[in-house]
């Protein structure tokens, strides 16, 4: 295996893993607070579309990222109202959000751009002095756009918030024993609402990253199952942000390895390449079937004054 | 008793209609914002989906939708979330389309059709075995595993069509075309294949099993309260495996009706994405097999007519996804109006038990 192979594998790992990282971090927060967010992929798509359009017209990728966050949060506010406030079925509402996201973005894209796919300029890369000169990991890891480092920082922030702050404690209590949290005088509904909105924001960044940084174009249905992989990652990470990071990059490798093998001159049919990450998820799930952990009150709507 | 159940039933019908109408209105507003005329759009749907023989296409489409719908009814009744219908559907379709031309060449039409139908049933059912085993034995959430298996099935179907089943006569990757006179016969005087009778028989049969037999009762008990079912001495593991298999089998049979009744071959990358939309319809029908019939009828008209309407309005065909998402959302909302607090809570409990059965008892 050549240097070119490893460099392309590592940089591709980051490119494919970052959307998963943002999204699975978001899902971790929401799962910990007791809301299973099946509609993640719809939020990613809406974030991707809004981010793409904003970046296209403002010529600024950062405006795009912020638009992606906002759009993801708007979508997740549906979930907040329906599932947290009204206590409706999380799986049905999640699937509704997925369908809405898919239909809406495809429709808007078709109405706005027809069958043309305009391209964005890439984001500025930041080459860290000295470190970026190291072969293989220099050009792949240490010359990433700034948003890569934002992502890494968010992992640390989420880990810190969930483990060492009152907010994190509230969120985890809302997922394990909402009644106890309520008895302690904290508003469960607001805790969960905040967690769901944060999830939407994270999924929005994930989608915006895909459209703005990773590919530079928006294609309908471009997430193609990544939202579900992110759910698996956060289930296996069991609320630990660092494991979400590791998991995302491992799946990033699965998503990338086919392309890198083509760089190295080995040809594999594209369908096999697309299949690989899902195959790996299945194998991981079978091996660690007993280890996937879900909070006790996941999917249980909380209503004051009811037993449980 | 009979009267109150009738009253409840009519209330459900009213709420379903309200959800659909509100979704159509909101969808119309979105069309208006996109600068399209929603009235013309819906008129196009009606014109192409019902008038001028469009009703025949719609009824043809219903046969696959009904069978897939039955697949979801049997799973959801048992509290099993089989979300991976698309993979089961496409893999069955690919194997039927791949095996069909060879089978028709060596045996009489009737036998070939029966064997191809069985291939659909077995393949669709088998594709559920991994998620259902993991759920039954380890309590692993089948929502995730069935979705993962669905993606695997979709890509595997493509690999098969671009590889071993690829026709040498075309440049586009697809299977060999089966002789059209040997496909499912049409109802005389129409263009509707007889598959619709298979589908209706499945609906009536499943409704009978679910409402009049002990198997149906056992499944409903398990879906309502898995732990109670376990304490009542039901063989929960076996029930999960059987219901999951039946779910995939119905979906596979639906694929057989679609390939053998409509297409006669399968192209690579073909994916009608019926799975999640049927999920919505089955919920709208409150998991009642008979109520699925009018809803799939409506959806068939929407998809058949929507194709033409989208083309006329110069929009992608995905407006239907948006509409179904809206229907689903407003349906859950209308649920709220009718449901007492206790029942709302019971639904949440059901899902929790579905998620963690096998670990707790």
pLDDT digits (tens, 9 = 90+) for A248-275: 988 888 888 877 777 777 777 878 887 8
- The per-residue pLDDT for B167 is 84
**Domain locations in chain B as residue ranges:** 53-356
Q: What's the per-residue H, E or C state across B160-223?
A: HHHCCCCCCCCCCCECCCCCHHHCCCECCCCCCECHHHHHHHHHHHHHHHHHHCHHHHHHHHHH
- The per-residue pLDDT for A130 is 67
- The per-residue pLDDT for B63 is 92
The reply to whether residue A82 touches residue B319, judged by beta carbons under 8 angstroms, is no
- The per-residue pLDDT for B355 is 43
Q: Which residue has the higher pLDDT, A289 or A67?
A: A67
pLDDT digit string, tens, across residues A61-108: 889 999 999 999 999 999 999 888 888 878 888 989 999 999 999 989
Confidence of residue B343 (pLDDT cuts 50, 70, 90): low
- The per-residue pLDDT for B141 is 77
**Cα distance from A55 to chain B (closest Cα, Å)?**
21
The reply to whether residue B155 touches residue A225, judged by beta carbons under 8 angstroms, is no
> Cβ contacts of residue B121 below 8 Å, gap of 6+?
B249, B252, B253, B256
- DSSP element (H, E) containing B361: none
pLDDT digit string, tens, across residues B101-111: 888 888 888 89
**Cα distance from A303 to chain B (closest Cα, Å)?**
9
| Binding-face residues of B in 231-260 toward A, CB within 8 A | none
Other Cβ atoms within 10 Å of A199 Cβ, number:
31
Q: Which residue out of B129, B145, B348 would a mutagenesis test of the A interface target, given it has the greatest number of A Cβ atoms within 10 Å? A: B348
Confidence of residue A219 (pLDDT cuts 50, 70, 90): confident
Contact assessment for residue A297 and residue A176, using Cβ atoms and an 8 Å cutoff: yes
Report the percentage of chain B scoring pLDDT > 70.
91
The reply to whether residue A220 touches residue B83, judged by beta carbons under 8 angstroms, is no
The reply to whether residue B283 touches residue A82, judged by beta carbons under 8 angstroms, is no
The reply to whether residue A107 touches residue B34, judged by beta carbons under 8 angstroms, is yes
Work out the average pLDDT over B276-292.
84
Average pLDDT value over all residues in chain A: 84
- The per-residue pLDDT for B357 is 38
- What is the Cα gyration radius of chain B? 21
Largest CA distance in chain B: 63
Owner of token pair 């929502």:
B143
- The per-residue pLDDT for A71 is 96
Q: Flag whether pLDDT at A222 surpasses 90.
A: no
The reply to whether residue B356 touches residue A100, judged by beta carbons under 8 angstroms, is no
Work out the average pLDDT over A173-183.
86
> CA A184, CA B135: separation in Å to the nearest integer?
36
> Cβ contacts of residue B83 below 8 Å, gap of 6+?
A95, B143, B146, B147, B150, B275, B276, B279
Cβ of residue A156 closer than 8 Å to a chain B Cβ? no
Cβ of residue B322 closer than 8 Å to a chain A Cβ? yes
Q: Flag whether pLDDT at A212 surpasses 80.
A: yes
Handedness of CA A41, A47, A50, A53 (dihedral sign): negative
Q: Which residue out of B94, B146, B147, B158 would a mutagenesis test of the A interface target, given it has the greatest number of A Cβ atoms within 10 Å? A: B147
Chain B's closest residue to A279, CA to CA, is B152
| Residue numbers in A near B335 (CB within 8 A) | 88-89
**Cα distance from B108 to chain A (closest Cα, Å)?**
35
CATH 1.10.3050 fits A3-112+148-287, yes or no: no
CATH 1.10.3470 fits B53-356, yes or no: yes
pLDDT digit string, tens, across residues B143-179: 888 888 998 999 999 999 988 888 888 888 888 888 8
- The per-residue pLDDT for A285 is 80
- The per-residue pLDDT for B97 is 92
* Share of chain B residues as helix, strand and coil, in percent rounded to the nearest 5: 75, 0, 20
Cβ of residue B188 closer than 8 Å to a chain A Cβ? no
| Residue numbers in B near A234 (CB within 8 A) | none
> Cβ contacts of residue A282 below 8 Å, gap of 6+?
B130, B145, B148, B149, B152
pLDDT digit string, tens, across residues A132-163: 677 777 777 777 778 888 899 999 999 999 98
Confidence of residue B352 (pLDDT cuts 50, 70, 90): very low
| Residue numbers in B near A298 (CB within 8 A) | 352, 355
The reply to whether residue A87 touches residue B138, judged by beta carbons under 8 angstroms, is no
The reply to whether residue A300 touches residue B349, judged by beta carbons under 8 angstroms, is yes
Report the percentage of chain B scoring pLDDT > 90.
30
pLDDT digit string, tens, across residues A180-206: 888 888 888 899 999 999 999 999 999
Cα angle vertex B66, ends B298, B19, to 5°? 35
C-alpha dist (Å) from residue B9 to B13, B14, B44, B133: 6, 9, 32, 36
Q: Which residue out of B144, B287, B337 would a mutagenesis test of the A interface target, given it has the greatest number of A Cβ atoms within 10 Å? A: B144
What is the total residue count of chain B?
361
Which residues on adjacent β-strands are paired with residue B174?
Answer: B267
> CA A78, CA A97: separation in Å to the nearest integer?
8
Cβ of residue A179 closer than 8 Å to a chain B Cβ? no
Cβ of residue A235 closer than 8 Å to a chain B Cβ? yes
Q: Flag whether pLDDT at B122 surpasses 90.
A: yes
> CA B146, CA A290: separation in Å to the nearest integer?
17
Confidence of residue A114 (pLDDT cuts 50, 70, 90): confident
pLDDT digit string, tens, across residues B192-217: 888 899 999 999 999 999 888 888 88
| Binding-face residues of A in 9-48 toward B, CB within 8 A | 38, 42
Q: Which residue out of B75, B155, B278 would a mutagenesis test of the A interface target, given it has the greatest number of A Cβ atoms within 10 Å? A: B155
- The per-residue pLDDT for A10 is 84
The reply to whether residue A289 touches residue B140, judged by beta carbons under 8 angstroms, is yes
**Cα distance from A107 to chain B (closest Cα, Å)?**
6
**Domain locations in chain A as residue ranges:** 3-112+148-287
Q: Flag whether pLDDT at B3 surpasses 60.
A: no
Q: Flag whether pLDDT at B311 surpasses 90.
A: no
3 state SS of B150: helix
- The per-residue pLDDT for A231 is 87
Q: Which residue out of A41, A45, A103 would a mutagenesis test of the B interface target, given it has the greatest number of B Cβ atoms within 10 Å? A: A103
Q: Please give the structure tokens belonging to residue A305.
A: 């004054």
Q: Which residue has the higher pLDDT, B7 or A308?
A: B7
| Binding-face residues of A in 208-227 toward B, CB within 8 A | 220, 225
pLDDT digit string, tens, across residues B213-263: 888 888 888 888 777 888 888 888 888 999 999 999 999 999 999 999 888
Q: Which of B152, B319, B351 sits opposite A103 (nearest CB)?
A: B319
The reply to whether residue B347 touches residue A299, judged by beta carbons under 8 angstroms, is no
Report the percentage of chain A scoring pLDDT > 70.
91
C-alpha dist (Å) from residue A17 to A46, A258, B313: 19, 15, 38
Average pLDDT value over all residues in chain B: 84
- The per-residue pLDDT for B231 is 85
Q: Is this prediction's ipTM beyond 0.90?
A: no
Confidence of residue A294 (pLDDT cuts 50, 70, 90): low
Chain B's closest residue to A304, CA to CA, is B341
pLDDT digit string, tens, across residues B286-303: 788 888 999 899 889 988
> CA A55, CA B127: separation in Å to the nearest integer?
42
Q: Flag whether pLDDT at B350 surpasses 70.
A: no
């Amino acid at each position: 295996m050549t240097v070119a192979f490893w460099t392309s594998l590592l940089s591709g790992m980051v490119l494919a893993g970052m959307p998963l990282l943002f999204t699975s971090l978001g899902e971790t927060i929401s799962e910990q607070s007791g809301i299973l967010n099946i509609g993640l992929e719809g939020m990613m798509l809406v974030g991707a579309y809004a981010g793409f359009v904003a970046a296209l017209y403002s010529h600024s990728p950062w405006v795009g990222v912020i638009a992606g966050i906002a759009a993801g949060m708007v979508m997740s506010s549906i979930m907040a109202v329906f599932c947290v406030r009204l206590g409706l079925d999380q799986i049905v509402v999640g699937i509704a959000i997925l369908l809405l996201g898919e239909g809406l973005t495809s429709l808007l894209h078709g109405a706005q751009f027809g069958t043309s796919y305009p391209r964005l300029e890439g984001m500025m890369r930041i080459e860290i002095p000295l470190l970026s000169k190291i072969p293989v990991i220099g050009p792949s890891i240490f010359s990433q756009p700034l948003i890569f480092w934002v992502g890494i920082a968010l992992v640390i922030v989420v880990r810190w918030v969930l483990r060492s702050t009152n907010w994190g404690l509230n969120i985890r209590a809302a997922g394990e024993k909402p009644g106890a949290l309520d008895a302690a005088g904290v508003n469960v509904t607001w805790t969960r609402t905040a967690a769901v909105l944060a999830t939407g924001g994270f999924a929005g960044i994930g989608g915006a990253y895909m459209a703005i940084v990773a590919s530079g174009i928006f294609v309908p249905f471009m997430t193609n199952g990544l939202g579900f992989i992110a759910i698996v990652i956060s289930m296996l990470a069991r609320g630990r942000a660092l494991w979400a990071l590791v998991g995302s990059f491992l799946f990033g490798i699965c998503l990338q390895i086919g392309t890198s093998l083509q760089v190295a001159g080995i040809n594999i049919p594209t369908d096999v390449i697309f299949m690989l990450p899902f195959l790996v998820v299945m194998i991981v799930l079978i091996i660690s079937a007993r280890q996937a952990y879900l909070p006790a009150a996941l999917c249980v709507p909380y209503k004051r004054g009811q037993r449980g | 008793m009979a009267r109150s159940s009738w009253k409840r039933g009519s209330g459900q019908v009213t709420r379903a209609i309200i959800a659909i109408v509100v979704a159509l209105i909101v969808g119309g507003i979105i069309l208006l914002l996109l600068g399209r005329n929603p009235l013309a759009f819906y008129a196009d749907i009606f014109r192409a989906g019902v008038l001028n023989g469009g009703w025949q296409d719609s009824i043809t489409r219903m046969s696959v939708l009904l069978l897939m719908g039955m697949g979801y009814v049997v799973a959801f009744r048992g509290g099993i979330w089989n979300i991976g219908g698309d993979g089961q559907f496409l893999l069955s379709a690919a194997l039927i389309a791949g095996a069909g031309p060879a089978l028709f060449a060596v045996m009489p039409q009737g036998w070939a059709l029966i064997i191809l139908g069985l291939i659909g049933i077995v393949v669709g059912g088998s594709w559920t075995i991994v998620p259902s085993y993991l759920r039954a034995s380890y309590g692993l959430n089948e929502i995730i595993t069935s979705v993962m298996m669905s993606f695997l099935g979709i890509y595997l179907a493509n690999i098969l069509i671009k590889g071993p089943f690829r026709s040498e006569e075309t440049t586009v990757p697809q299977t060999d075309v089966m002789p059209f006179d040997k496909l499912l016969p049409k109802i005389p005087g129409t263009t509707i294949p007889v598959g619709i009778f298979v589908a209706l028989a499945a609906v009536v049969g499943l409704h009978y099993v679910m409402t009049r037999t002990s198997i149906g009762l056992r499944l409903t008990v398990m879906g309502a309260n898995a732990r109670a079912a376990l304490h009542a001495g039901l063989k929960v593991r076996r029930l999960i495996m059987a219901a999951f298999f039946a779910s995939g089998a119905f979906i596979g049979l639906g694929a057989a009706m679609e390939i053998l009744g409509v297409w006669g071959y399968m192209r690579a990358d073909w994916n009608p994405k019926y799975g999640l939309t049927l999920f919505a319809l089955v919920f709208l029908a409150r998991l009642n097999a008979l109520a699925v019939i009018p809803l799939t009828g409506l959806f068939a008209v929407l998809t058949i007519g929507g194709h033409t309407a989208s083309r006329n309005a110069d929009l992608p065909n995905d407006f239907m996804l948006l509409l179904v998402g809206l229907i689903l959302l407003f349906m859950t909302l209308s649920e709220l109006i009718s449901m007492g607090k206790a029942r709302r809570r019971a639904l949440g409990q059901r899902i929790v038990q579905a998620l963690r059965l096998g670990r707790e008892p």
